[in-house]
Structure 1
């Protein structure tokens, strides 16, 4: 779907001509690289929370913080935490000095000319289309975003406190109300692709811990068919809504509370699916090889939108760790065997020579 509006470049976005996609940053450079450059506009990304929901909430804060820095509109919804408290905890952006940053200036004309086929030197190239456009910023988790920056951002808060019962296809009216509020936000602020506002922007939809026990109707149990059906149908409807707008959604769900078949339907209804498997409370927590990390990061789904080839990294193993100032995702590099290393160190410096009576001596006695 074409999302580049003529020659107008929306701040905080990057257009990829190969797939006709407009990308926005997730706020985590390593995650953007894994996703092939960023989150495509018009998609729904699903994050399976860890057992305690700590790390998924951090990733969501990065997503919101990137929206604040890029002057995007933010729709924040949560029933587990106060949306106003979540927005106060988003990390502050790190401003680098221009002398220390990498220069992205345009090369000299003498370097860009084709010396062999000079007749083609004026033809546009891919580098010209994406020049001067870099996605993503760096953030400091020890500092909060200034209140002035938050107040200057268009942020809509939803906590489900004013949900009204009525005719709905959901067993829980909260899902129906949330979907209706998102549609109203897109329509009123003219984020649909058919709209033509004077100034275009991106709507970032952040849904925290969707489908948690606080989202369940009183009459239903946690593993009832109605509760899992509501979650699956909501994600499906949200994707259809976001696909026709300049919007991107990131949802975190407590996957450990749902059965496998219900979770598979939710993944099928989304465009991108990620899983954060924490080591806390498992036998991997005491593993010396994984002592520097806090859990596994798994990219379970990456839909090839507008393309026949997926950018899924394949069978690569990724791990994440939450440092004091930042959240890091890295490839898992296993160290050499500890036992072999210790045995090699003990034999280092020894000269193995044949001795009398089958014994090994460092020096031979003559």
Structure 2
């Protein structure tokens, strides 16, 4: 194990965590990297529970894939709901700075000129900084240039070549995808035992795994909510990725599955997060949450090379999707100040009372 670790420092788009010796890569979302303690550990499987419409989970997957292409990582994209080629073509474009930084800096500079605070607070940060991030910045309003991914090592899986041989899954598509990942790891020499001339990392992005498009042939008895194919696939993929320089991110429409199936998927994964969108719920018209689009729940964090994992505890996070950026931050509710009319003012008591008679 010591021999592969020597080359980890030269892998593009990665950083070695000095606290637990984890090799980390960026998710593409700087705020998410900070929540995860620096990024995604290499050799792990992350599942994202999709919102009802799957929009925001797809955006997070786009960030993950775009970061891999810019960092010169190998990529495997798999989907039965969309053409993987179209997923790559619609990835956000890389830019030099934060897309919202320039607009915020102009407003903050004008406010600072008008307002002065105590000297002891001048050097303190005004907001939570995104630390330990090694990723790039992306603009969601622009698509990636064809020249950025033409020479990239990208493999696509559409499920068209499905063999009906014997396997442990009811749906043979799961077996074929697992085989495709294994072949990609073997061909690219991503196993820990391999010694390639130049070490890189494989990013596996699977879009909407377990959706209705993953139903098996009609002649097989299959109930989506009670099937074990989904959690068995995650368990097998986790064992495969753990033995290689690879990271997998999977989006799952968990609202289609039973709670027991969801618990098994979370248990089989390393990192689990859930997106709870406000759209279509009673929280959509909540004035206090009008600046956000949903709650972000970190269900599980990987504990690799450590006894305990970093977890935010009782901190609540929310996410918002702007025209150019997807961002996750802590929930800060405004103060609950209610306007009180003159007719409902509570009577004053004591010597300064406006009443003529005092009650003892």
The TM-score range, normalised by the shorter chain, is 0.7 to 0.9
Residue in 1 aligned with 2:174? 175
Superposed CA offset, 1:112-147 (max 9, x none): xxxxxxxxxxxxxxxxxxxxx961111100001100
Superposed CA offset, 1:128-176 (max 9, x none): xxxxx96111110000110000112110000101112111111100000
Superposed CA offset, 1:341-363 (max 9, x none): x239999xxxx9754758xxxxx
CA contact (8 A) 2:97 2:137 kept: no
C-alpha distance in 2 between matches for 1:186 and 1:35 = 25
Residue in 1 aligned with 2:188? 189
State the Cα distance separating 1:9 from its structure 2 match.
1.5
- Aligned ranges 1:102-117 → 2 under 5 Å: none
C-alpha distance in 2 between matches for 1:68 and 1:272 = 22
State the Cα distance separating 1:251 from its structure 2 match.
0.4
- Aligned ranges 1:322-341 → 2 under 5 Å: 322-339=321-338
- Aligned ranges 1:214-293 → 2 under 5 Å: 214-219=213-218, 220-225=221-226, 228-293=227-292
Change (3 A) 1:345 1:263: farther
Superposed CA offset, 1:195-242 (max 9, x none): 0000110000000000001001133454353xx300010000000000
Does 2:340 match 1:343?
A: yes
State the Cα distance separating 1:71 from its structure 2 match.
0.4
C-alpha distance in 2 between matches for 1:166 and 1:141 = 42
State the Cα distance separating 1:96 from its structure 2 match.
4.2
DSSP 3-state at the match of 1:343: coil
CA contact (8 A) 1:14 1:134 kept: no
C-alpha distance in 2 between matches for 1:334 and 1:35 = 23
CA contact (8 A) 1:4 1:15 kept: no
Residue in 1 aligned with 2:318? 319
RMSD: 2.4
Residue in 2 aligned with 1:36? 37
C-alpha distance in 1 between matches for 2:223 and 2:94 = 39
Question: Which consecutive residues of structure 2, in runs of 5 or more, have no partner in the other structure?
Answer: 103-131
CA contact (8 A) 2:33 2:133 kept: no
Residue in 1 aligned with 2:140? 141
State the Cα distance separating 1:16 from its structure 2 match.
1.5
Residue in 2 aligned with 1:63? 64
